[in-house]
């Protein structure tokens, strides 16, 4: 499989605080790829460099072969529309129904009629496992899991090449977490998406990630598959492996 995103020698910081020091990684087309690491290690910050929310201090990031931070405005706009992002807490508009929340990107970036936008939004609402009745509700009327699914539908409504998920299982009970994992896998399989997710959920790591990186002390301590990590000289997830085998 070819690389769809590649980071080369990336350094990021907040003021004088270095988050990542000369790190590189590659994400292959149609895989589910994870960013792992301890709290505060910079998992979400690294994801932000790929969705135009955090410009690296140094280095280059290529999206489908294009240097995304060093391209012109029109190219950057095109890349943004080829990416969909589900933020950790949903970031839904509280004053809008779920149907309008999901359709808002089409209002902004398409020439479809209101009827067509509503039909497309309804398709995605059902695609992520919500019932039709949820479309007329407001975010305050949804459970945590339903909010996640609504945010996921909005991230998918423009049919992106790459889907970014920031802690998709955060705040969910174990059953809902496994249902979310199953949904993410099914979406990848049915749509051919590339999925990039920040996660600390042990079951997600073992059950749905094709490959992942581990951030440790501002560096990437590992990048590869679970089987490759098991054979590595040093396993940053050794305690997690032991707990899974108990």
Residues 52-69 have pLDDT tens digits of: 999 999 999 999 999 999
> What SS3 state is found at 192?
coil
In sign, the C-alpha dihedral spanning 209, 179, 237, 22 is: positive
Region class of 116: left (phi > 0), else alpha (psi between -120 and 50), else beta:
alpha
- State yes or no: pLDDT of 239 exceeds 80: no
- Count CA atoms closer than 13 A to 98's CA, side-chain side: 29
Of the pLDDT bands very low, low, confident and very high (cuts 50, 70, 90), residue 243 is low
Q: What pLDDT, on the 0 to 100 scale, is given for residue 20?
A: 96
Residues 194-206 have pLDDT tens digits of: 999 998 877 888 8
Residues 207-216 have pLDDT tens digits of: 899 999 999 9
For 70, other C-beta atoms within 10 Å of its C-beta total: 11
Query: Is the model's pTM score more than 0.75?
Result: yes
């Amino acid at each position: 499989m070819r690389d769809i995103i590649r980071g080369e020698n990336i350094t990021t910081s907040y003021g004088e605080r270095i988050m990542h020091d000369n790190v590189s990684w590659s994400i292959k087309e149609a895989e589910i790829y994870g960013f792992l690491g301890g709290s505060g290690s910079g998992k979400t910050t690294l994801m932000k460099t790929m969705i135009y929310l955090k410009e690296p201090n140094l280095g280059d990031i290529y999206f489908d072969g294009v240097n995304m931070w060093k391209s012109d405005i029109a190219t950057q706009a095109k890349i943004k529309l080829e990416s969909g992002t589900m933020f950790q807490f949903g970031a839904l508009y509280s004053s809008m129904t779920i149907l309008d929340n999901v359709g808002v990107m089409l209002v902004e970036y398409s020439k479809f009629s209101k009827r067509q936008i509503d039909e497309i939004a309804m398709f995605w609402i059902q695609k992520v496992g919500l019932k039709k009745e949820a479309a007329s509700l407001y975010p305050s009327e949804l459970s945590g899991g339903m909010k996640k699914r609504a945010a996921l539908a909005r991230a998918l409504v423009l049919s992106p090449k790459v889907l970014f998920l920031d802690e998709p299982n955060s705040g969910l009970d174990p059953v809902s977490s496994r249902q979310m994992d199953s949904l993410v896998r099914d979406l990848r399989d049915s749509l051919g998406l590339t999925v990039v997710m920040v996660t600390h959920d042990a079951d997600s790591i073992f059950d749905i990630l094709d490959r992942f990186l581990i951030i440790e002390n501002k560096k990437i301590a590992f990048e590869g598959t679970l089987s490759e990590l098991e054979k590595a000289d040093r396993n940053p997830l050794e305690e997690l492996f032991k707990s899974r085998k108990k």
